[in-house]
Chain A
Amino acid sequence: MNGVHDLGGMHGFPDLGYEPDEPTFHHEWERRCFALNFAADSLGRWNLDMWRHAVERMDPVEYLTTSYYEHWLHAMETLLVEHGLLSPEELHARLAGDRAPATPSPGQPAALSAAQVEAALSHGEPAARDVERPVRFRPGDRVHTANLHPEGHTRLPRYARAKQGIVRDDRGVHLFPDRRAAGEHDAAERLYNVEFSARELWGNAAPPRDTVRLDLWESYLESA
């Protein structure tokens, strides 16, 4: 979606806010929020692309004026409610101070146990898929990115749409976020690493030799 999260090339945010020796988490709630997200994701009701899209669906002003882990909190609350694991009423009530305990629902997924954490983190979630797909582009091919403006999730940033580039590498077949975020958990396409000159992206004031590389799925690309 053409959301405010798609920040590449925007002006107006000069201050990096570099903090030397910053801690991993600045507040206890951030630590808890990070861990809760991981545990909630492991319930298997949504995939990573749906999670990222939930962040993108935040109100744009809230997105820019809240801290990073507040984005994580928003995504988790949104997905828990949308996938029926928590009701808005339960959450309201608890926030309002209602201490009546909640109870498990029949058919709900099992919690990730402490014993499962190590294996889950070591294995991760590989995105590569060992499936046969024709190879449409080869390294050295000139390509043109599509002028896509989906309302749903995409990983083709606005700054790289309708631009000419050169394929530099074939990454193999990977899970495809645009369709996964819509619920097609196994959607996959061939992924390519594509080089764009800085001048192609930003105009002739850009340094002549600089480049930007993006990993782009086949349906984002046309032959040039």
Chain B
Amino acid sequence: MATDDYRHAAPSLTDPELRVRALQSLLTEKGLVDPAALDAIIDVFETRVGPHNGARVVARAWSDAAFRQRLLRDATAAIAELGFEGSQGEHMTVVENTPEVHNMVVCTLCSCYPWPTLGLPPVWYKSPSYRSRAVADPRGVLAEFGVRLPEEVEVRVWDSSAEMRYLVLPRRPPGTEGMSEEALAALVTRDAMIGVAPARTPDAE
């Protein structure tokens, strides 16, 4: 088959930089790729999407009970109220941490992750280590992040096997009464929205 021949006969494939340059030049010359589009794509993912978006969603849910209800009922629509939507966020579900349930999110089969609210996933989330351990030993992974939960708490791991994308609504930390949404958002970390860490407390800053 054509691809097998290509793999066996190609020059050393150990340098991804050479392969990417070769592909970009070929595809541009063939008119299949417009380099200006590549720049536009990179700009979105390096500056516009990121955990700062998800942090705003969480801060609003903590501050506004009606928003929190809408978020838990139809996360995609509620998140879109803040202008976050689209690629890899088409079908959102927000899962709320409570005294009884602690949620954690993984994609064991690849790296599915809610891009509009969290940006692109960190290397550790995509690693064989996290992907293999999160479903089978979530408490062991949580312990590495300094989180220990009593056995009475249900640790609920969401494996992103379809196009549903999950965002954890962490518990609002104590000592945050009366804080503005902006100040609350600063306490919400990416790791808290994946479900491996709690949100920060104000005195931790």
The reply on A135 being an interface residue by CB < 8 A is: no
With CB as the reference atom, state the residue of chain B lying closest to A210: B155
CA distance A15 to B144 in the complex (A): 10
Q: Chain A: residues with CB nearer than 8 A to chain B?
A: 5-19, 22, 24-29, 31-36, 38-40, 43, 52, 55, 64, 67-70, 73, 76-78, 80-82, 85-88, 90-92, 94-96, 101-105, 108-114, 116-118, 120-128, 155-157, 159-160, 171, 174-175, 177, 191, 193, 198, 201-202, 207-217
B77 vs chain A, min Cβ distance (A): 13
Report chain A residues within 8 Å CB of B178.
none
Min distance, Cβ A181 to any Cβ of chain B, angstroms: 12
Do residues A17 and B135 form an inter-chain contact, with CB atoms below 8 A?
no
With both beta carbons as reference points, the residue of chain B lying nearest to A25 in the complex is identified as B46
Find out whether the CB atom of A8 lies under 8 angstroms from the CB atom of B108.
yes
Residues A17 and B3 in contact, CB atoms below 8 Å apart:
no
- Interchain CB contact (< 8 A) of A124 among B85, B138, B139, B144: B85
Given contacts A77-B23, A91-B26, contact A211 B123 (CB under 8 A): no
| Bound-state Cα–Cα, A19 to B131, Å | 17
* Residues of B near any A CB (own CB < 8 A): 2-3, 5-6, 9-11, 16-27, 29-34, 36-42, 44-46, 50, 85-91, 108-111, 119-120, 122-124, 126-133, 135-136, 138-139, 141, 144, 151-164
Contact (Cβ within 8 A) B20 A112: no
Complex Cα spacing A28 to B95, Å: 35
With a cutoff of 8 Å between Cβ atoms, the chain A residues found around residue B123 in the complex are 17, 19, 22, 26, 68
Contact B91 A17 (CB under 8 A): no
**Do B111 and A201 touch (CB < 8 A)?**
no
Is there an interface contact between B124 and A121, defined as CB atoms closer than 8 Å?
no
User: In the complex, which of the residues A80, A105, A112 contacts B37, with contact meaning CB atoms closer than 8 Å?
Assistant: A112
- Report the minimal beta-carbon distance from B84 to chain A, rounded to whole angstroms: 10
